[in-house]
Structure 1
Amino acid sequence: MASTDSPGNGGRRGRRPGDSGTREAILDAARARFSGEGFRGATVRAIAGDAGVDPSLVMHFFGSKQALFVAAMEFPLDPAEIVPRLVGPGVDGLGERLLRFLLGIIDELGEANPMLGLVRSAVTHPDAARMMREFLGEAILDRIAAAIDADRPRLRAELCASQIVGILMARQILALPELAAADRELLVGIYGRTIQRYLTEPLASS
């Protein structure tokens, strides 16, 4: 009797969804590919090949490349779920909503926050910077830009990102004492207005 794995019988390559270690093998392969090739360069097909599974099995476990990246990098949140919820009520008040949510996550996780390690790596390693730039651009900034009803929406979204990354660096990584100790709502009130200005007010003329 012919083997069911023979080409003539259409045998499938890779592990079954229930096989032990499959998910971790995919995550290990994803980390290596994302780190080496960036978010855009790493394909689901290549990651699946490295893990020895079918691409459909990667989608079975994670659903999308963005979700795979979130799991592989151990992000504390999935932008595909969070950003639409923050943007949904409209641009009015979005600056404060963004900052209140992100500061809440940062304060809750403290030094256990994997985003801190990724930001530190991005500062000193070009490959890490490219990986983060590509992922944040597609997963977060594109979605925010799409909600902005003003000129140069992508620039406005990136200005917001520059402010938030700056706060993260100064408050969590450099740990500037007064800023690190400041009440979260005080910071939301101060920085939220600045971020809101990027979203809605006229940009300075060149």
Structure 2
Amino acid sequence: MSRRPGRPAGGSDSRDRILDHARELFARNGFDKTSVRSIAAGAGVDAALVHHYFGTKQQLFAAAIHIPIDPMQVIGPMRETPVDQLGLMLPSTLLPLWDSELGAGFIATLRSLLAGNDVGLVRSFVQEVIAVELGGRVDDPPGSGRVRVQFVASQLVGVVIARYILELEPFATLPVDQIARTIAPNLQRYLTGELPGPAQES
């Protein structure tokens, strides 16, 4: 029986092998330094099969760390959002997603990653996916974009831990809009406000 047209050849366990090697390489080398070609080589398949199963490298990364949605579906619209509105746009987009059924799977995965040995995957996602997409837009003065995004990440990770992992009340059941509007000014300051430099020794 001939295989379905357009589908590259690969065994039934190819998808799992691709994911296993993707997790290993992403954790070891980070997102930027890991190529689809290297993942395919490690899994013993053609790069075309990786694209067939997972699409883009970002989508493969999302599958590797069990994010139930292509991160570019969230990050992509940020490119069109005026910089002075990103502070509100970020939590207004992410909180409803985290509150959804899809988000429940992501929170469970994040809890597992933080408790285990795969923090490199989370770090890579923050520094090499989110920072690359948003950091360039807020890199004023030059060189500050990376730390600005990390300040934002620290605030958002804090929200995730307090609301979904520790389930602190009443924070865990506050309306999404209330949380978004409350933290938005801080996020906006991290993104576009003046950041204090290190204290100078006298």
Correspondence for 1:68: 60
Tell me the distance in 2 between the aligned counterparts of 1:71 and 1:110: 13
Q: CA deviation at 1:191?
A: 0.6
Tell me the distance in 1 between the aligned counterparts of 2:169 and 2:43: 45
Correspondence for 1:94: 86
Aligned match of 1:169 in 152, 161, 184? 161
Tell me the distance in 2 between the aligned counterparts of 1:102 and 1:43: 28
Q: CA deviation at 1:55?
A: 2.1
Unaligned residue ranges in structure 2 (runs of 5+): 1-6
Could you tell me the TM-score, scaled by structure 1's length? 0.78
Match status 1:118 vs 2:91: no
After superposition, give the CA deviation of every residue in 1:36-74 in whole Å (9 maximum; x if it has no partner): x25346543343234331123213433332221112222
Could you tell me the TM-score, scaled by structure 2's length? 0.80
**Percent identity over the alignment?**
35
Q: CA deviation at 1:75?
A: 0.9
What SS does the aligned partner of 2:83 have? Answer: coil
Correspondence for 2:128: 138
Contact 1:90 1:147 in 2 (8 A): no
Tell me the distance in 2 between the aligned counterparts of 1:63 and 1:191: 34
Amino acid at match of 2:179: L
Tell me the distance in 1 between the aligned counterparts of 2:168 and 2:29: 31
Contact 2:19 2:63 in 1 (8 A): yes
* Alignment size in residue pairs: 188
What SS does the aligned partner of 2:196 have? Answer: coil
After superposition, give the CA deviation of every residue in 1:63-106 in whole Å (9 maximum; x if it has no partner): 33222111222212222232131231211111111001111011
Q: CA deviation at 1:192?
A: 1.0
Correspondence for 1:185: 177
Tell me the distance in 2 between the aligned counterparts of 1:181 and 1:110: 18
Unaligned residue ranges in structure 1 (runs of 5+): 1-15
Tell me the distance in 2 between the aligned counterparts of 1:132 and 1:187: 23
Where do 4+ consecutive residues of structure 1 move more than 6 Å?
none
Contact 1:87 1:94 in 2 (8 A): no
Contact 1:38 1:131 in 2 (8 A): no
Please, which moves more after superposition, 195-204 or 69-78? 69-78
User: RMSD of aligned C-alpha atoms?
Assistant: 2.5
Aligned match of 1:157 in 135, 140, 149? 149
Contact 2:15 2:53 in 1 (8 A): yes
Q: CA deviation at 1:184?
A: 1.1
After superposition, give the CA deviation of every residue in 1:1-24 in whole Å (9 maximum; x if it has no partner): xxxxxxxxxxxxxxx626563434
Correspondence for 1:103: 95
Tell me the distance in 2 between the aligned counterparts of 1:30 and 1:109: 25
